[in-house]
Chains A and B, each alone.
Chain A
Amino acid sequence: MPSRVLKLCILLLSCLCLLWGTLLWASEASDELAGFGEGFGDAASFGDDDTSLASKPRPLGFSGSLRVPLLLYIDAAGLRSQSAKDYLKTHGEAFLDGSLLTELKLGAWNAHLQMGALRGRFQLQEAKVQYSIGDFVFDLGYMKQVWGKADTAHVFSLINSYNPTEQYYSALSPRSYVDSLKSELMFRSSWYYNDMGQLQIVYAPFFTPDVLDVNGRWAYPLPEAYRFSAPFIKAALADARPRPFSKGQYGQLGLYVTNTFLDSLDLGFAYYWGHFPTPSLSFAAPSTTTSGVTAAGGFVPGTTASSASKTMLELSYDPLHVLALDAGTTLGPVGIRAEFAYYLTPDFRGNNPAVHNNQINYSLGLDWMRDSLMLLVEMQGSHVLNPSTMSAMEFLTRRHATEHTIRAKLSNSFINNQLTLSTQVQWHIQDRGVMLALELAYRLHEDMELAWKTVYLGGHESSLYAYWAQNSYTGLELRCSF
């Protein structure tokens, strides 16, 4: 509740800022090139006596983007059983996405407000106040904190809630990961202890778990062991998902320190103290509220799951400590990046079915470019320790104790950069699932483009991607930025 009140206050403040920002922006529109030095012969246009060039940007910044996707989901079965008109009605989707960023700079203070819509739903993307003094920068507000040197996904950036299915809509977009995060209220202190070194400490009083859809288009299939208690699990997850926890014990603390060594190697270390982003499910002993659900979550044949069983189900988020390292360097024309994280839960031995086992998560990637051609390959891996004692609950969001996903992106531009062809392949090795994305974008105007995008999900019939195959889509998207 306090979180909702706070968010409401920030929203009201945001609206006032936006209104004010719009008025100021309109009044300054004629000064678009301010500071850009129109006339050259007059060196004073840059001001020979100006000693604070970098610190005197326009006090108010105003920018944003707009996207209008028209999607058609591809479902072969649906296409056969429906007329084209009905198919379009049931499988077509159009929405308005966008964001509006207002920045106000007053000396050492900087207010930053970004609101918009994603998948057609309004969201507060970021709203923060920043104060900079010397080597320190302090931020307070709703923010998205990204840690790690990988490109497509991070293994220890855990403070914000992550929606793993958003990547299928935003595939090929550089914003894919950031758009998959939900902003969180936090306080962030950054100390730049040398030119390229940085220490960040973040405290978030609330915790919002990762999005785990159990209903709807992107629902995860529940593990077999939970088959009979699925309705109760779904009800519990649906109830828990969107609500930040306001209890004190659900706070989060993060620390990240990074620096450059030998002029060629960026190294970072991170520590996170918070909660496992996906829930644990535990069941009360059958003797106390016997209703046909076993301790492992299965249903006892011949019994009936009564409403009493709803009270048996306990959904919780395990305390979690994460120790992580990351590194980035270059080798000739190739960029190399790696992340490694150890997830330490209370179930160190892996024998408590109500608590997540410890995990190792990592990613390794490289990128290379020549002319306008860019190639990026990244592998993300995850291994649950003590896999022989894994409980069924480990499989809510994963299907194997060890999982690897390879992502490869390739893009190139043609016709004076007016036409861009991009493709992405995502291969889940153990699950044998594949995602293919292809996009052709044509620049209509300096800041406007029209794109045709197709995303296919499939692979082995038992894979998660095959389960989501009906979410494959093709569509047009109009994008502009300002």
Chain B
Amino acid sequence: MRKHLCSSIQWILALILFGFIVKYTGIMQAQEVGTQTLERKALSASELILKMNESSRWDQVESTYAAVEVSLIDAAGNVGTLRLIQYGKRVDDKQSDGKQGDTIQGADAFMSLVQFVAPASLKNTRFLSRDGSQWVYLPALKKVRRVASADKNSSFMGTDFSYGDMSFDYTPEGYGYDILREELLFGDDCYVLESRVIAPKDEQYDRTFTWVSKTSFLPRKTEFYKDGAHIKTLTIEDIKTVQGHLTPIKTRMKTEATGHQTILSIKGFVYNKELPAALFSKKYLQTGAL
């Protein structure tokens, strides 16, 4: 495993982390939750989807700073652990080369730098993602290396996330939606939302069931299906309010066929901290100095 780590594979967990934070964090002002709670009755599927989209106020975030532990657990209970620090900063529109009128959405709107803390063989390995490109600095090789992104079905080595999982949209076009029922999950009243593909292409999954919190409109659990087979299950087991933002603290992705699981545990998180732009440069990537 260590060889793989050093040979530049598991730094891709950087993408897991950042994509995950962007995708699943409910950027919701705490005071709004109460209001929305009053509206929870008689929601249609389309209204629920609208609420979910509204709750993801990622545009209010200028930067993130997170400390994360990634646990890889096999069916026999063997655990491997990675620890890393992640910095994210919104791309300055003036710096981006997007044409006037273009808006950069989701993870693409951010630069991200991930620095591994553990295991020892990965320490000081840094991963930079900006402008649609990725570079990794491997201390063992003493150089910065541009790296390719894998296809959406490819999983990160040893983890249960795929690239497609990171860009998975709960409410994409070309899907049909239904609210099936209401259930209690992790002490949270939830709608169970079914989404199914209408015009199949090369989707990673053709049907999902998502448990959406009635109060925060955050997804708490999602089951992913393909051709009738239950492929994976994602659960957000713990959510906390950080600086007024609801943030997933513990997330588990399980591959049903193997029983293998990946747990992302956020050990610390700060929003909108002043992060120097120099953090997202080759200088920091290579030297660790600002």
Contact = CB atoms under 8 A, between A and B. Distances in A.
B268 A46 contact: yes
A193 B15 CA distance: 27
A196 B138 contact: no
A479 interface: yes
Nearest to A451: B3
A417 B81 contact: no
B58 to A, nearest CB: 19
A266 B121 contact: no
Interface in A168-193: 172-175, 177-178, 190, 192
11 contacts: A40-B240, A40-B269, A46-B268, A63-B123, A108-B289, A146-B142, A174-B8, A263-B132, A266-B146, A417-B4, A447-B121
A367 B283 CA distance: 25
Interface residues of A, number: 78
Contacts of B184: none
A85 interface: no
Interface residues of B, number: 74
Contacts of A248: none
A197 B282 CA distance: 7
Interface string B146-167: 1111110011111000000000
A45 B268 contact: yes
B269 A43 contact: yes
Contacts of B275: 53-54
Interface stretch (B35-43, B72-80, B170-178, B217-225): B72-80
Contacts of A263: 97, 131-133
B120 A482 contact: yes
B2 interface: yes
Contacts of B8: 174
Nearest to B122: A481
Contacts of A41: 240
A460 to B, nearest CB: 31
A36 B3 contact: no
A55 interface: yes
Contacts of B274: 51
Contacts of A38: 267-268
Given A43-B242, A135-B283, A174-B140, A446 B119 contact: yes
A429 B221 CA distance: 56
B160 to A, nearest CB: 11
Contact of A46 (B7, B151, B269): B269
Nearest to B151: A333
